[in-house]
């Protein structure tokens, strides 16, 4: 009886970890789809506009479904202004310079650099918000950035100076999203993560369409069929669906365990890059990835709250969930 009861109690954890792992892998597939679309002649401006335009009705569908489940607090015009800025910072700017960076580096290096976002949040909190960093966290930071440098050496050996540009762009994307995560904390508590994601993504869609129109007014309508299909997959399979899966997973098992399951993201990206884009997998790349994952694991273990009971109380409130890009 005890073994059956223990299995029953641990089942939500297993389901939650599985959901989080799938969500992380789907998120990571975005880089592969963007690389494939580049091969059909699309540029970063057009791809971002198509992604956000196609994701927008899906996000608003989620908003409609969530609004039917429970009443929502009213949003002021000041809130809308803040949400527009968060959309610019976390969804538009972060995604755009990430797409630009993908033109110069491998999808494996891109995902590993983005995986450093929690360390950037930690550093911003230390230098700008005067929050303490423990010795273990400092060790994790050193190990994580050492791992990125190891993977970068491989890209630099094949693409030269372009690898520097690509990595700096993607690191800038991670910095932009880190600032978004810090600034969005108060808004998540007040209006909920679903509305934050919907409003921020709507702002990003508007900005990306304006940018694409200024760059080439007809580009969104002149792409090949393959680009449209890849953009639809990017918007649905690699944006909206994984966002929902991560939210459900955090709701079931909490952020620390979801962060640990997120290790599958960079791993899957490296293998997808190998099978789909013919990007090489080397021992240097695997070693660097292992260092970065070890650093993230140390950070998660350092921040994970200790629970008195193995039973995790399932919540049905998405307002407790942090949004993800």
Q: For the chain, what are the domain ranges?
A: 12-306
108-147 exposure pattern, b = at least 16 Cβ within 10 A, e = fewer: bbbbbbbbbbbbbbbbbeeeeeeeeeeeebeebbebbbeb
pLDDT in tens, the chain (325 residues): 445 445 555 676 788 888 988 999 999 999 999 999 999 999 999 999 999 999 999 999 998 988 887 777 788 889 999 999 999 999 999 999 999 999 999 999 999 999 888 889 889 988 888 888 888 889 889 999 999 999 898 888 877 788 999 999 999 999 999 999 888 887 888 888 888 999 999 999 999 999 999 999 999 999 999 999 999 999 999 999 998 898 888 788 777 777 777 878 888 998 999 999 999 888 888 899 899 888 888 877 666 544 443 343 444 433 333 444 5
DSSP 8-state secondary structure symbol assigned to residue 192 = -
Residue by residue, DSSP assigns 70-139 as: S------HHHHHHHHHHIIIIIIIHHHHHHHHTTTS-HHHHHHHHTTHHHHHHHHHHHTS-----HHHHH
What does pTM read for this prediction? 0.87
């Amino acid at each position: 009886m005890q073994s059956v009861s223990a299995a029953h109690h641990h089942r939500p954890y297993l389901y939650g970890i599985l959901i989080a792992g799938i969500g992380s892998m789907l998120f990571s597939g975005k880089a592969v789809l963007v690389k494939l679309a580049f091969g059909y002649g699309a540029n970063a401006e057009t791809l971002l506009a198509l992604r956000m335009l196609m994701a927008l009705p899906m996000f608003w569908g989620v908003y409609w479904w969530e609004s039917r489940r429970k009443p929502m607090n009213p949003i002021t015009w000041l809130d809308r202004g803040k949400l527009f800025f968060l959309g610019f910072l976390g969804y538009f700017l972060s995604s755009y310079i990430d797409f630009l960076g993908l033109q110069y580096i491998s999808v494996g290096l891109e995902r590993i650099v983005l995986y450093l976002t929690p360390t950037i949040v930690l550093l911003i909190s230390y230098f700008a918000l005067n929050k303490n960093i423990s010795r273990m966290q400092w060790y994790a930071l050193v190990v994580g950035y050492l791992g990125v440098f190891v993977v970068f050496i491989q890209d630099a050996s094949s693409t030269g100076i372009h690898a520097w540009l690509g990595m700096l762009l993607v690191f800038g994307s991670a910095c932009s999203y880190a600032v978004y995560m810090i600034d969005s904390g108060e808004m998540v508590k007040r209006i909920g993560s679903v509305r934050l994601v919907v409003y921020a993504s709507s702002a990003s869609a508007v900005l990306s369409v304006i940018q694409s129109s200024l760059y080439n007014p007809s580009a969104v309508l002149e792409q090949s069929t393959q680009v449209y299909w890849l953009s639809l997959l990017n918007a649905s399979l690699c944006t909206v669906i994984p966002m929902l899966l991560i939210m459900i997973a955090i709701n079931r098992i909490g952020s620390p365990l979801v962060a640990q399951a997120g290790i599958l993201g960079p791993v899957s990206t490296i293998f997808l890059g190998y099978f789909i884009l013919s990007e090489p997998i080397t021992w240097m790349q695997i070693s660097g990835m292992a260092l970065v994952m070890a650093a993230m694991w140390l950070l998660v273990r350092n921040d994970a709250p200790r629970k008195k009971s193995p039973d995790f109380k399932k919540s049905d409130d998405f307002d407790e969930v942090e949004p993800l890009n």
